[in-house]
Amino acid sequence: MRQRKSQHEPDPLLAELRRGQSIELLKELHILTRDGKLNQDSRRKLKQVNHLVQFIEKVLQDLGAGPGKPLTLADHGAGKSYLGFILYDLCFKALGTGHIYGIETRAELVEKSQELAARLGFERMTFVNLSVLEATTAQALPEKVDVVTALHACDTATDDAIAFGLQKSAQAMVLVPCCQAEIARNLNAHKALNLQRSALAELWRHPLHTREVGSQLTNVLRCLYLEAMGYQVVVTELVGWEHSLKNELIIARRVKSSNRQAAHRLHALLEQFGLTELLHTRFTLLPDNAANM
């Protein structure tokens, strides 16, 4: 006969917790239940955020974060601010310096995050009810931001976060794109013309392929754009595919002012796919004349 699990036996799912991670915070975020349990859905969420924090932690270390160098971080599309709160708990609290800004368009979520930060004594967290575009010029945010993050920023929100980072002279950006649809719409709009022009258009002739190719191409263009603007880019998986299909992680570190070769390749790719109009909308900050080489 199978023995009943002891009531006092530790929950194996709690192995997902980082050392020193606040149980009370995870309860407040409703990742843990009030009795300290973790269900499968919450486990996936916690695994993703904790794994992303590890990447950001390395970025902060590389940038020399510490008492002598307080860093600012802006989290776009913050939502309930899981990432911001856990990042503060595991990194910024120990550093004793630096500031996290959560940027979110839903006022009720901003208000709840403000209340939670005050209750936990997370003094170096600020939440603003703004779009990414508004945040670029808002007085509530500093003129320069060191690190920009965007977890599951939907469709063009990732591009807006990149534009924000460029305007704020960000030293690093950590992005997990989601639901990339803009390029797919553009590919679909010119599909008939491109089918006549090039056999390459067969890659997106069928609607399902249009979505998949559009999603892949979107992130390739984003990476080239970041490289053109002087960033060194690494692309990897956030967590295993069994946890999320939106799993691509882009980490960009500024290493120089610009990269004309990357700008040239970006222009060539846009031309190849019939998307050169994006040079006047999405990729307007390319190095001078580099796109016309």
The domain that contains 49 carries what CATH number?
3.40.50.150
**Has residue 248 been placed in a domain?**
no
What pLDDT shows up at residue 246? 63
- Residue 108 predicted with pLDDT over 90: yes
Q: What are phi and psi of 37, to 5 degrees?
A: -100, 160
Looking at per-residue confidence, does 218 or 155 come out higher?
A: 218
pLDDT-derived band at 239 (thresholds 50, 70, 90) equals low
On whether both 36 and 68 belong to a single domain, the answer is yes
Mean per-residue pLDDT for 86-110?
A: 95
Q: What are phi and psi of 20, to 5 degrees?
A: 80, 5
Mean per-residue pLDDT for 63-89?
A: 93
CA R_g for the chain = 21
Residue 157: count of CB within 10 angstroms of its CB: 20
Q: Which residues contact 269 (CB under 8 A, 6 or more apart)?
A: 217, 220, 221, 224
On whether both 207 and 131 belong to a single domain, the answer is no
Looking at per-residue confidence, does 43 or 291 come out higher?
A: 43
Mean per-residue pLDDT for 141-148?
A: 96
On whether both 34 and 150 belong to a single domain, the answer is yes
On whether both 211 and 270 belong to a single domain, the answer is yes
Looking at per-residue confidence, does 12 or 68 come out higher?
A: 68
- Considering only the C-alpha atoms of the chain, give the largest distance between any 2 of them, rounded to a whole number of Å: 76
On whether both 85 and 206 belong to a single domain, the answer is no
In this structure, what token pair is assigned to residue 246? 């939106």
**Has residue 44 been placed in a domain?**
yes
CA distances from 226 to 110, 158, 255, 268 (A): 29, 12, 11, 16
Whole-model pTM? Answer: 0.87
Q: Tell me which residue range forms the domain holding 46.
A: 19-179
- Residue 289 predicted with pLDDT over 70: no
Element housing 101 (H / E): strand 99-104
**Has residue 247 been placed in a domain?**
no
Q: Which of 179, 195, 221 is the last residue of a domain?
A: 179
On whether both 175 and 188 belong to a single domain, the answer is no
On whether both 222 and 276 belong to a single domain, the answer is yes
d(CA 17, CA 31): 11
- Residue 293 predicted with pLDDT over 50: no
Q: What is the pLDDT of residues 53-62, one digit of tens each?
A: 999 999 999 9
Rounded to the nearest 10 degrees, the angle between the axes of helix 157-167 and helix 207-228 is 10
What pLDDT shows up at residue 220? 95
Spatial CA neighbour of 281 closest among 190, 171, 97, 156: 156
In this structure, what token pair is assigned to residue 129? 């009810």
Question: How many distinct structural domains can be found in the chain?
Answer: 2
pLDDT-derived band at 7 (thresholds 50, 70, 90) equals low
Q: What are phi and psi of 256, to 5 degrees?
A: -160, 180
- Cβ atoms of 291 and 207 within 8 Å: the answer is no
Beta bridge partners of 253: 172, 232
**Has residue 62 been placed in a domain?**
yes
- Cβ atoms of 124 and 99 within 8 Å: the answer is yes
pLDDT-derived band at 285 (thresholds 50, 70, 90) equals confident
- Residue 1 predicted with pLDDT over 80: no
| Start-end of H helices in the chain | 23-28, 40-62, 82-87, 93-95, 107-120, 132-135, 157-167, 182-189, 191-197, 207-228, 260-272
Q: Which residues contact 153 (CB under 8 A, 6 or more apart)?
A: 76, 77, 160, 161, 175, 176, 177, 178
**Has residue 6 been placed in a domain?**
no
What pLDDT shows up at residue 291? 46
Q: What is the pLDDT of residues 185-231, one digit of tens each?
A: 888 888 877 777 888 888 888 988 888 888 899 999 999 999 999 99
